[in-house]
Amino acid sequence: MRMDERRGGFPELETARSVKPLIEAARADIAADRELPKQLVEALTGKGLFRLLLPRSLGGSELSLPRFIRCVEVIAEADGSTGWCVGQGGVFPNVADYMPEETAEAIWGANPGAVVATGTPTGSTAFEVEEGFRLKGRWRFASGVMHASWLAAMSPIVDEIGKAIGFGMFLVRRDEITLGDGWNVQGLRGTGSRDYTLDGLVVPRPRALLDNVFRTHCGVATGLPAHLLFASAFGSVGLGIARSAVDTLTATIEGKTPTFTNRKLLDDDLAHVGLAEAEAMWGQSRSFLHDVAEECAYQYERDGEPSDRMRAQLRLSATNAMRRSAEVVDKAYTLCGTDGIFEDHPLHRNFQDIHALSQQIQARPAHFRTVGRVLLGLPPDSAVL
């Protein structure tokens, strides 16, 4: 149950709600094809759902963090993979105002429906040459690569002997990469998070964003670095998946009579308790994330940036949302019995998706330790804040 009336609606949220039936109708194809169907991508891009954090000067919505995560959650409730793609692809535009104007125009000016995917570098190198940087290596987990227009390939910058001397993000067109596979998974199958390689491509200087942009740059929409926006988005994806699981559990309890018994699940005390516990866990996790997001937005408007302590709270609430959402889904899955083991049952997809999400770097339990240190006045043990 969402208690959002006090927060009010806004056009982008209504747009997200309007595409839910299209997403739900495509769920079987999303899983079977391991990517979002073309028709669905066209709807998402055409309605601006990948431009939620893009600056208004480039045709984006420039949403605040609380509004952005509400949109992501609604989409993820319809399908986890679609929510993940919108969350992942929607964060990259946060760095648009950091780019040279000609680069931003080449991406979004030439194609208002452009999507930029990223990928985790695996043994990649960028070597400076006269024209820019020569890029070589392999990138994994490129969510959305199947419908992306551009790739932002992160890589260490090396000198003549291969020693790392810096770091950068290098923008390459989708048609410049060699696409691999590497996405043999059950959960979040439709994200199409395949790998890709580059073998000596020279990236022009205007398309080279030097420094670790995701950690150092704070965009005009939120005043938060991209890596914390990813965490918030994925926390909302988890909450959307968990909401779907709780609603499916409710419908199951109302209509199921377990095998070898004449007692309806609706009359089972354990089902009553489990449903209430799942609802409470979901509501607690969601309220924490939204309260922190709203405080971050308030501080950004008042002070020009959220405080360091509030950034730590955002990391904590996002991590908590991901990990508690997995517990909610597990509880729903257990209470639904054998219904949930079949591929065509919504809880089967919820279960697979949430456990793919909770294994991701943004959901690491180690984040609790880092935030705990900050709450005690100690230095953080990793650069995740």
Residue 282 lies in a domain: yes
pLDDT tens sequence across 99-150: 999 999 999 999 999 999 999 999 999 999 999 999 999 999 999 999 999 9
Phi, psi of 288 (to 5 degrees): -60, -50
- Note whether 272 and 366 are same-domain residues: yes
- Note whether 30 and 120 are same-domain residues: no
- Note whether 164 and 235 are same-domain residues: no
- Note whether 362 and 236 are same-domain residues: yes
pLDDT tens sequence across 192-232: 999 999 999 999 999 999 989 999 999 999 999 999 999 99
Residue where the block lists tokens 């992501």: 72
Annotate 228-279 with DSSP letters as a single string.
HHHHHHHHHHHHHHHHHHHHHHHHHHHH---TT--S-GGG-HHHHHHHHHHH
pLDDT value, residue 256: 78
pLDDT value, residue 7: 87
Q: How many CB atoms are located within 10 Å of the residue 185 CB?
A: 13
CATH number where 296 lies: 1.20.140.10
pLDDT value, residue 257: 77
CB contact at 8 A, 330 and 348:
no
CA distance 149 to 111: 9
- Note whether 93 and 147 are same-domain residues: no
pLDDT value, residue 13: 97
Q: How many CB atoms are located within 10 Å of the residue 358 CB?
A: 22
| Sites in the chain below the pLDDT cut of 70 | none
Among 150, 178, 212, the domain boundary falls at 212
Annotate 297-364 with DSSP letters as a single string.
HHHHHHHSS--HHHHHHHHHHHHHHHHHHHHHHHHHHHHHGGGGGSTTSHHHHHHHHHHHHTTSGGG-
- Note whether 23 and 49 are same-domain residues: yes
pLDDT value, residue 362: 96
Closest CA to 301 of 223, 360, 362, 237: 223
CA distance 215 to 368: 19
Q: Domain range holding 304? A: 226-375
Q: Is 112 exposed, middle or buried (0-12, 13-18, 19+ CB in 10 A)?
A: middle
Residue 384 lies in a domain: no
- Note whether 352 and 233 are same-domain residues: yes
The domain tally of the chain equals 3
pLDDT value, residue 36: 98
- Note whether 91 and 12 are same-domain residues: yes
Angle between helices 80-91 and 65-78 (to 10 degrees): 150
Residue 10 lies in a domain: yes
